[in-house]
Amino acid sequence: LPEDRLMLAQARVAMAGLPEGQREVLALVAIEGLSYRETADTLGLPVGTVMIRLARARETLLPKLGMAKGSRQ
């Protein structure tokens, strides 16, 4: 659907604007489906760092995608 393609394009642009560390964590968790532990092991990071980077990435992306905090679709 055109709406889906538009949302995907917006998400790509928004993700490209994230710092690399946040982008990596978001891609592994949200796109690849890795757990926080698996992501931490893959990137050689503590789980807490993964959680913080993911939270910051989401805080940045949600407004850019027209979503309020806590509303995931």
pLDDT tens profile 6-54: 878 888 888 898 999 999 999 999 999 999 999 999 999 999 999 999 9
Looking at every residue in the chain, the average pLDDT score rounds to: 88
**Residue appearing with tokens 């910051």:** 56
**pLDDT (0 to 100) of residue 55:** 95
Closest CA relative to residue 63, chosen from 10, 20, 19: 10
Give the pTM.
Answer: 0.79
**Other CB atoms within 10 A of residue 29 CB:** 20
Structure tokens of 11? 């998400």
Residues 6+ positions from 64 with CB-CB distance below 8 Å: 10, 14, 17
CA angle 49, 34, 67 (to 5 degrees): 75
